[in-house]
Amino acid sequence: MRPCPSHRIARAVLRAVLSILMLTGLAHAANASVPNPVTSTIPPCLAVCPQADIAYTVVIRDLANNPVNSANVVFDFSGCPNMQLCAPVPSTDYQFLSPTSISTTTNAAGSATIHLEAGGCCANAVKIYANGVLMTDTIYHPLVSVANADQSGDLFVQPNDETLIVAKSASDPTADLNCDGTHDAADNALLLDHLSHFCKSLIDPVEKHTWGQVKIRYR
Ligand SMILES: [Zn+2]
């Protein structure tokens, strides 16, 4: 005896519902804890002082907006020829993967903070990955810019750095030290707060003309 049309329809609907539930379950399993740029927080401005006294924080989340714990976060500076990273010291809060890339790990809140020790600036070129997924995908997050108190990239913050930052345009992201989206007098003033700062790994900067200042600070 053939099932009546209403039963056939009911079975078809049931099969469709089961298929959707199965696919949804698979998709959920696939997306669980996978970093997703849509829900993650990746500030476009990375402010830096070679003395590691400026923090930068990313928050990594999955598609369901859950924080991703223990995610490996990689910063790739290979597109930044004017930057140089300071040699690591015991207090450095990230690891080197290569001369131009570093990594750190998120906590239970999906958050990872670094205090980058580096000289030099970089416009729209830093890539950030989380567990291998590109966060700076240029759709949801642009490539990150570095605004450094050490504008010249010699690993010291000196008066010439003030000269360099003052000469930059209002829209130059490498001069936006306070990361408010614009370069203005506040950024120039902020640079002065970091005057005479240098890489912690540079113990004996004898060749620098700021040696006197540095020596006093180092005692
Ligand atoms: Zn500083």
Q: What does the alpha-carbon distance between residue 65 and residue 205 come to, in Å, rounded to a whole number?
A: 47
- Ligand 1 center–CA 161 separation, angstroms: 13
- Ligand 1 center–CA 138 separation, angstroms: 30
Alpha-carbon torsion, ordered 39, 112, 50, 215, to 10 deg: 160
- Ligand 1 center–CA 199 separation, angstroms: 9
- Ligand 1 center–CA 47 separation, angstroms: 10
Residue 175 is classified by DSSP as: G
Please give the chain's pLDDT, 219 residues, in tens. 455 556 665 566 546 544 544 444 444 444 569 999 999 999 999 999 999 999 999 999 999 999 999 999 999 999 999 999 999 999 999 999 999 999 999 999 999 999 999 999 999 999 999 999 999 999 999 999 999 999 999 999 999 999 999 999 999 999 999 999 999 999 999 999 999 999 998 865 444 444 444 443 333
- Ligand 1 center–CA 21 separation, angstroms: 54
- Ligand 1 center–CA 53 separation, angstroms: 5
Q: What does the alpha-carbon distance between residue 34 and residue 112 come to, in Å, rounded to a whole number?
A: 16
CB 106 within 8 A of CB 141: no
Start-end of H helices in the chain: 5-31, 159-166, 185-193, 211-218
- Ligand 1 center–CA 71 separation, angstroms: 28
CB 136 within 8 A of CB 142: yes
In this structure, the chain runs to a length of 219
